[in-house]
Structure 1
């Protein structure tokens, strides 16, 4: 018999660097994401995905954070 997992909640949010000069800064994006994670309080991070979109200023960085709150099942 195979035990199949149930379901669970995974929340997420996405952020990007401001458009224009500096939109390609990975350190700035990581600081922005870290500040938002800190503001959530105690969470369990499931994954962080960094993406790029090409613009006239270079790659425009964005990130999506997937997380669970302590009471999520």
Structure 2
């Protein structure tokens, strides 16, 4: 399984969940035909509010064939 993580820029606005979701959605669209397994959103308290980040877990179509061609 593959994954990537993204966060809002640190500082004022780091607690903007809609901005984080847009950022994650743009990245997911950029993957092409990926099968999304899970999306995890977390936050960490800071002086600017909760610093939001997200991790997307996914498979790409070529991952399905990788195990079939081995051994």
State how far apart, in whole Å, the 2-side matches of 1:52 and 1:16 are. Answer: 9
Q: TM-score, normalised by structure 1?
A: 0.85
Q: Give the aligned length.
A: 64
Q: CA deviation at 1:71?
A: 1.6
- In the alignment, structure 1 segments of 5+ residues that lack a partner are 1-9
Residue 24 of structure 1 aligns to a residue whose secondary structure is: coil
Q: CA deviation at 1:19?
A: 0.6
Q: Tell me the residue number matched to 1:43.
A: 34
Q: TM-score, normalised by structure 2?
A: 0.87
Q: CA deviation at 1:15?
A: 0.2
Q: Tell me the residue number matched to 1:69.
A: 60
Q: CA deviation at 1:51?
A: 0.6
Q: Quick check: which one's helix share is greater? A: 2
RMSD value over aligned CA atoms? 0.6
After TM superposition, which residue ranges in structure 1, 4 or more long, deviate above 6 angstroms?
none
- In the alignment, structure 2 segments of 5+ residues that lack a partner are 65-71
